Structure 1
């Protein structure tokens, strides 16, 4: 049965009791000392710790290797000094390909201290950046590679002394499976995602459409929104109009900063294979839409965007709608306070050194 967050609060004692009995947790038991629900971490808690000089522990859950924006977001993530990347989990199938892409990229930029985890679900298949991956396989990675992403997510959250921010930029079967196995992870994590289209669709235009990350995992996202933790998202209303062009793009593409060469190589390979673009941009002059960057930013700052808490529900086609009767409360980045300032920030981060 799927509970709303309001229902969860009313029935929390029963939920925790069943978790203690092993009904939900399976191999991840909740100890008796944890039988009282702790307040779940919020963005205010997280940003407060950042102001005190603490980095924010982050798990990056990504469908890397489909759209190129995940690769832009990965490099940006690695250059954010506010964030302590504890795990990169590939999601939404194609586990071996996505993990091999992540492993090769981290190897090229000398960040093999970051553990990787392979998506739950199908492992086979390749996609649009396979030419850059080539024959590389994640078995060659010098760092840790976990075979079960849900297990790795649970353990990373539960072993962290500080609350963990889940930054999720694809469909979220890993997250739903983690919650199914151990709902107590909500006590030490919050969710930040790139999901939905609330008032506008792609490119900032009507009509509202089923956004891809929602459409590709409707039930997992419903379960994620219904869980007892704070959820924040950037829908297409904000992330759907972020790109780099002109001098901003030139600063990045011409930079010799670590990781930029690999990013641009991936971009060119991706353009050779991608099929859904009506007009392909010139990789010498502009990026595609950089949806996922905004979710990474929201892990540590919301200063450039306007946030609203809205009751959201997801229909069977993947439309994310405001639903006052049955919706779950989700914090949404609905408008930009300073889009130009945000783009300038992104450029400076991408051409900086590693965090």
Structure 2
């Protein structure tokens, strides 16, 4: 795409965002807690960036999940500090490792942040639910170890969540099945397969579940969109650009898949990924099995890439410039 073409696309995005913003009625921001294994794949940072850019969400706190949760908490500390959001509490999750877990591709960026004490994720999660019963949306972007432990400790309190919006599962399509060829069928998805027992507990909890599986989340942040995003030079886009470069170098990948960002987008606006009721069961191998019977989840099985990025891109592109109170045109 030419420079003039990029400029035209950006102008259209920003105009659309202004129209959408004007059309949206003013509503109170919904309280959310984000549980994330940020630092492995880059999609967690892209998802948290969307949450930070969305006034519809009041981020009560962010909890680190899976693997080296202390280092993940430091990454979150640095990201929030560099974007002026140190007011958001960070809690450290249960450290648990599993076979085939992802590499911490953004560890060097996280290690530059001095360590500090954090509350424990399970304590934090349950305390926030007690303070806001029936109000909090939990956005789950990683293996559900923290969620399963919270259920074990205090199931009555956990079930007072308003809902859980998660990226997880593979219902009819697996990895790299983008719908262009006959489907190969589902396969175990990472967030489920890394802690199958925790996932089983969450799916059986009775909390309303809104599931964004591989079927609808394999949307690609292509080179044109990356150029727009990573040359915008806001506090947020600069931080994400550095995290992207570390991820790309460590994984030898160039194009991020927006798995987790779709879940955050749904929490903000369900029209981004419309859901349908399904009955799902997690089996012992980590498959997300469809079953007959009463629905226990709401699942997005298909999403529209153009619609998603028209929602996503303007929010991050309209962040304030570093050291400036003005917005880019």
TM-score in terms of structure 2 length: 0.82
Tell me what 1:189 maps to: 162
Alignment root-mean-square deviation, CA: 2.2
The equivalences for 1:129-140 within 5 A come to 129-139=106-116
Please report how far the alpha carbon of residue 132 of structure 1 lies from its aligned counterpart in structure 2 after TM superposition: 1.4
Tell me what 1:248 maps to: 225
Please report how far the alpha carbon of residue 102 of structure 1 lies from its aligned counterpart in structure 2 after TM superposition: 0.7
For structure 1, the 5+ residue unaligned runs are 1-49, 282-286
For these two proteins, the number of residue pairs brought into alignment is 287
2:284 to 294, 309, 316: 316
Tell me what 2:72 maps to: 98
- How far apart are the structure 1 equivalents of 2:191 and 2:309? 23
Please report how far the alpha carbon of residue 75 of structure 1 lies from its aligned counterpart in structure 2 after TM superposition: 1.0
- How far apart are the structure 1 equivalents of 2:83 and 2:26? 29
Tell me what 2:139 maps to: 167
Tell me what 1:269 maps to: 246
Match status 1:156 vs 2:128: yes
The equivalences for 1:335-346 within 5 A come to 335-336=302-303, 338-346=304-312
Query: Is the CA contact 1:58–1:85 (under 8 Å) kept in the aligned structure 2?
Result: yes
* Greater alpha carbon shift after TM alignment, 208-217 vs 338-347: 338-347
Tell me what 1:236 maps to: 214
- How far apart are the structure 2 equivalents of 1:65 and 1:353? 22
- How far apart are the structure 2 equivalents of 1:184 and 1:118? 22
Tell me what 2:16 maps to: none
Please report how far the alpha carbon of residue 136 of structure 1 lies from its aligned counterpart in structure 2 after TM superposition: 2.3
* 4+ runs deviating over 3 angstroms: none
TM-score in terms of structure 1 length: 0.76
Tell me what 1:23 maps to: none
Classify the secondary structure of the residue corresponding to 1:99: helix
Please report how far the alpha carbon of residue 161 of structure 1 lies from its aligned counterpart in structure 2 after TM superposition: 6.4
- How far apart are the structure 2 equivalents of 1:65 and 1:213? 14
Query: Is the CA contact 1:304–1:339 (under 8 Å) kept in the aligned structure 2?
Result: no
Structure 1 pair 136/248, CA: closer, same or farther in 2 (3 Å)? Answer: closer
For structure 2, the 5+ residue unaligned runs are 1-23, 179-183, 321-329
Please report how far the alpha carbon of residue 122 of structure 1 lies from its aligned counterpart in structure 2 after TM superposition: 4.7
Please report how far the alpha carbon of residue 249 of structure 1 lies from its aligned counterpart in structure 2 after TM superposition: 2.7
Tell me what 1:121 maps to: 95
Structure 1 pair 122/248, CA: closer, same or farther in 2 (3 Å)? Answer: closer
Tell me what 1:216 maps to: 194
Query: Is the CA contact 1:307–1:334 (under 8 Å) kept in the aligned structure 2?
Result: yes
1:332 to 284, 299, 303: 299
